[in-house]
A and B are shown apart, each in its own frame.
Chain A
Amino acid sequence: GENVEQHPSTLSVQEGDSAVIKCTYSDSASNYFPWYKQELGKRPQLIIDIRSNVGEKKDQRIAVTLNKTAKHFSLHITETQPEDSAVYFCAATTGGGSNYKLTFGKGTLLTVNP
């Protein structure tokens, strides 16, 4: 099955700096790569996603890049703010139609220091 590795497991930055989280996946058939943010004690929520036919996607301070050849994708957060502090999970999706399966990475705890 699919295996998703996520690094680093913890990341501490100063407010205003950039943060980068990287993930690799094993199944070359994976076609959809979402990123979820989970604040302490709250539910995971989708913040950005990218499909396999796109190399980069940006939404304000958040961007995701995908390298299908190398089977890795990354989350970039610019101008970090204290409210960006959370655990971030990447995921890779195999399958399609009504039967697709997400495999999550182990998460990155991002701390933004004021």
Chain B
Amino acid sequence: EAEVAQSPRYKITEKSQAVAFWCDPISGHATLYWYRQILGQGPELLVQFQDESVVDDSQLPKDRFSAERLKGVDSTLKIQPAELGDSAMYLCASSWGTGSPGELFFGEGSRLTVL
């Protein structure tokens, strides 16, 4: 069964360092999402792509976060510089992205710890 792949699974870094997360969605899925999940809370959308275009990045802290999906397939989320408050699980998800809303398929996430 096809799954969303993410790496790394775990990342420990010091504040002010740069970190990057990678996501490979299910083949053929046009929509890709990056969510941040703080322990004990629900996922919060950071950025949403339709193919290679950003359709929603209203909650992305653009002074330190960036995201790209250059060829409309895999995607990278970068944080520079990392801050203590960035410690969280970063979840990538994908969906077919056509027609009416449907199921999001999540990756296993990248857990970030900023020291």
Which residues of A are at the interface with B, using a C-beta cutoff of 8 A? 4, 6, 31-32, 34, 36, 42-46, 49, 51, 89, 91, 93, 95-107
Which of B14-22, B66-74, B76-84, B101-109 binds A?
A: B101-109
Q: Is the CB of B41 within 8 A of A106?
A: yes
Closest A residue to B98 using CB positions: A98
Taking a contact as CB atoms closer than 8 A, the residue among B31, B91, B97, B101 that contacts A44 in the complex is B91
Minimum C-beta distance from B29 to chain A (A):
12
On whether the beta carbons of A107 and B55 are closer than 8 Å, the reply is no
Interface core residue of B4, B50, B106, B107 (most chain A CB under 10 Å):
B106
Residue of B nearest to A91 (CB): B42
Total contacting residues, chain B, CB less than 8 A? 26
* Partner among A43, A93, A106 whose Cβ is within 8 Å of the Cβ of B106: A43
Nearest chain A residue, comparing its CB with the CB of B30: A98
- A-B pairs with CB below 8 Å: how many? 62
Closest to A93 in B: B101
A6 CB contacts on chain B under 8 angstroms? 42
Tell me whether A100 and B101 are in contact (CB under 8 A). yes
Given known A-B contacts A43-B109, A98-B31, A98-B50, A49 and B45 have beta carbons under 8 A apart? no
Minimal beta-carbon separation of A66 from chain B (angstroms): 14
Complex CA distance for A93 and B50, rounded to whole angstroms: 16
A101:B91 contact, CB within 8 angstroms = no
Write the nearest CB–CB distance from A63 to chain B, whole angstroms.
18
Given contacts A96-B100, A98-B31, A101-B48, contact A43 B43 (CB under 8 A): no
Q: List A contacts of B102 (CB < 8 A).
A: 32
Q: How far is the CA of A97 from the CA of B91 in the complex (A)?
A: 23
- Over the window 18-53 of chain B, the binary record of Cβ atoms lying under 8 Å from chain A Cβ atoms (1 yes, 0 no) is 000000000000110000000011111100101000
